A and B are shown apart, each in its own frame.
Chain A
């Protein structure tokens, strides 16, 4: 018997018609037709399972923000092609400014022009609400900075490191945020959808290797908070930003109830 007609295989695989005796025998003995038949059957099965895939939900916004942040961080690595020749517009970054610790932090300062360039390119090219939200954060930074009693005029800050903050443990997954370390040793936190707690929120830096930690400060009710960091903190070691729910219990240790966490990169 010659190979089964291609169309016939499709209809058999879809269950549209029954194989007659000759066709059954052929399918049992002909590897070629059997493979084609099995493939069509599998495709038909997969096709029937696609109905639920037509209206998949969008990923939450922080996923995109995390992608942008990680790509910027990765592209700032010194091993990648040289940054574009664009002068830094920031006023303050200087060579003696201590960096977060080691080459990574120093690279962040050196490569600032590139990073700023990136931001503005994203700004020009992005047309979506998501990108607008990212830019909104930049706007916030400048505003916050202006409220600081700094002796010098408010400058656009250089971000040494940043971390997307995600819901941790049993925290509702829509809670999220972002942490950034500026070159003036300030930790900027932007949080959204934190669950209500009976006490207050506290911000910690954790060394994930040793699980040693220290408190950076308390988070108020506002979505944004700017907290000073100790001058000599090693952000490469204490790389995890943690927001915890604390109660007024006179216990200064971490409650163990983490709401958000993220790892600083940059």
Chain B
């Protein structure tokens, strides 16, 4: 893009602020939607960026995007936090004998996947993004999209095809749960 990842890796402090401005919301969303406690979520956001900055030299742009890397760090911090609170809950339960069910928020992996797909969607060329949003959010058929937008059906289909291919590629690179690959399939990870 604009070299943000490279500048971040090189230790340019402006890049840290830029990365935070762009992706702080996504990291906070990951933490806030998976942790019960708001201050825990903010704390995870903070420690994610601190850890990323201190480990910036280990970020390899060839292996994925900066936001994917940040979300991966955030995901680990969230999981650590969930484990810690599960331990606390067990201790409390042992003492009080009150088996209060732990809050089951959405799975961190799914939240990461969603954020990665959302990020890629936002980066698609406008036409592709617009068509996919109509298909995803408004549940329109390709024919309906062609009618609504006045774009020929064949063009709608090709935008959607290319957009979907980009989303899938990005998800396979940066997502937390790459799709279930049958064992023995040569492309399995």
Contact = CB atoms under 8 A, between A and B. Distances in A.
B85 to A, nearest CB: 15
Query: Per DSSP, are chain B's interface residues mostly helix, strand or loop, or mixed?
Result: helix
Contacts of B81: none
Interface string A144-165: 0000000000000000000010
A42 B179 contact: yes
A96 B99 CA distance: 55
Contacts of A39: 168, 171-172, 179
B136 A51 contact: yes
B90 interface: no
B165 interface: yes
Report the interface size class on chain B: 35 or more
A138 interface: no
Contacts of A66: 43, 46
B83 interface: no
B88 to A, nearest CB: 15
A154 to B, nearest CB: 29
Interface in B19-43: 20-21, 24-29, 38-39, 42-43
A50 B175 CA distance: 14
B79 interface: no
A113 B28 CA distance: 33
A57 B42 CA distance: 12
A46 B26 CA distance: 15
A128 interface: yes
Interface in A33-57: 34-35, 38-40, 42-44, 46-51, 53-54, 56-57
Interface stretch (A118-126, A182-190, A210-218, A243-251): A118-126
Contact of B25 (A46, A58, A168): A58
A56 B185 contact: no
Interface stretch (A67-75, A84-92, A103-111): A67-75
A102 interface: no
Nearest to A74: B54
Given A35-B185, A46-B113, A67-B50, A10 B161 contact: yes
A121 B181 CA distance: 49
Query: Per DSSP, are chain A's interface residues mostly helix, strand or loop, or mixed?
Result: helix
A130 B20 CA distance: 11
Given A31-B184, A67-B20, A46 B171 contact: yes
Given A47-B136, A50-B114, A53-B29, A70 B185 contact: no
A228 interface: no
B117 A173 contact: no
A35 B113 contact: no
Contacts of B168: 39-40, 43
Given A31-B182, A34-B182, A50-B117, A63 B164 contact: no
A14 B168 CA distance: 13
Nearest to A171: B39
Contacts of A227: none
A165 to B, nearest CB: 11
B76 interface: no
Given A47-B117, A54-B118, A58-B24, A35 B42 contact: no
B53 interface: yes
A166 interface: yes
Interface of A: 6-7, 10-11, 13-14, 16, 31-32, 34-35, 38-40, 42-44, 46-51, 53-54, 56-60, 62-64, 66-67, 70-71, 74, 121-122, 125-126, 128, 130-131, 164, 166-168, 173
13 contacts: A35-B181, A35-B187, A38-B179, A39-B168, A39-B171, A43-B164, A46-B171, A47-B121, A54-B118, A56-B29, A64-B24, A70-B50, A130-B17
Given A58-B24, A71-B53, 20 more contacts: A10-B165, A13-B164, A14-B164, A31-B182, A39-B168, A39-B171, A42-B171, A43-B167, A43-B171, A44-B164, A46-B114, A46-B167, A46-B171, A47-B132, A63-B46, A66-B46, A71-B16, A122-B13, A125-B17, A128-B17
